[in-house]
Amino acid sequence: MPRSEQYTEPAVKRQEWSTRYDDGPPALRVWAVCLCGLKVVIPAFYALQDTRTPVRIGDCAMLLNIVLSVALMRPLHRGGLALATLLAAFFNLGMLGLSLYRRLGELQGWSILQSASRAACAGAGAVCYGGLRLALWSEEGMFPLRVAWQRVERGGGEGR
């Protein structure tokens, strides 16, 4: 494209990639899940008053990232750097999880899942309640529902 035409088109049209919503590459999503896991595992070590283990494992993960980056950069270019970072993050999470498992024993995953599902249900109920309140009290809200909601909040019928 000639330089004179380069600035006459809107910037969005010059983009070669699609402008539709995209979650990003799959590796980025996997890396995000790994980071969420690290945000759970590392504070567990801090709660046990052990700050050395996460730092030592993090140092090993950083060295692994450097070695893999150098090894994968030539054949895969930028993808090699991304793959190296992803593999180092998984190494970090795996080693921290293994170390925590060895230290605490079984983590009772079923009870953790039950507790998380109860918290999610309570949160969903709160969101539904807040959304209903917002819909009823907004200017665009439906008036008959607003009157019914007021009756429910007052505790029943008109005479009370």
Task: Select from 107, 123, 145 the last residue of a domain.
Answer: 107
CB 37 within 8 A of CB 93: yes
For residue 14, being part of any structural domain is answered with no
From residue 101, give the alpha-carbon distance in Å to each of 43, 106, 115, 140: 14, 6, 20, 53
68 with 94, same domain: the answer is: yes
For residue 5, being part of any structural domain is answered with no
28 with 103, same domain: the answer is: yes
For residue 149, being part of any structural domain is answered with yes
d(CA 66, CA 60): 10
41 with 56, same domain: the answer is: yes
132 with 63, same domain: the answer is: no
98 with 57, same domain: the answer is: yes
pLDDT at 160: 46
> What are the two backbone dihedrals, phi and then psi, of residue 85, each rounded to the nearest 5 degrees?
-65, -40
d(CA 38, CA 54): 10
d(CA 144, CA 44): 51
The confidence band for 34, taking pLDDT boundaries of 50, 70 and 90, is confident
53 with 101, same domain: the answer is: yes
From residue 85, give the alpha-carbon distance in Å to each of 69, 82, 135: 8, 5, 45
92 with 55, same domain: the answer is: yes
pLDDT in tens, 123-157: 888 777 776 766 666 555 556 666 666 777 777 65
For residue 118, being part of any structural domain is answered with yes
Rounded mean pLDDT, 22-44: 76
pLDDT in tens, 57-111: 999 999 999 999 999 998 888 888 888 998 999 999 999 989 988 998 877 778 8
- Tell me how many domains the chain contains: 2
Residue 112 has pLDDT above 70, yes or no: yes
Q: Which domain holds residue 144?
A: 109-160
For residue 4, being part of any structural domain is answered with no
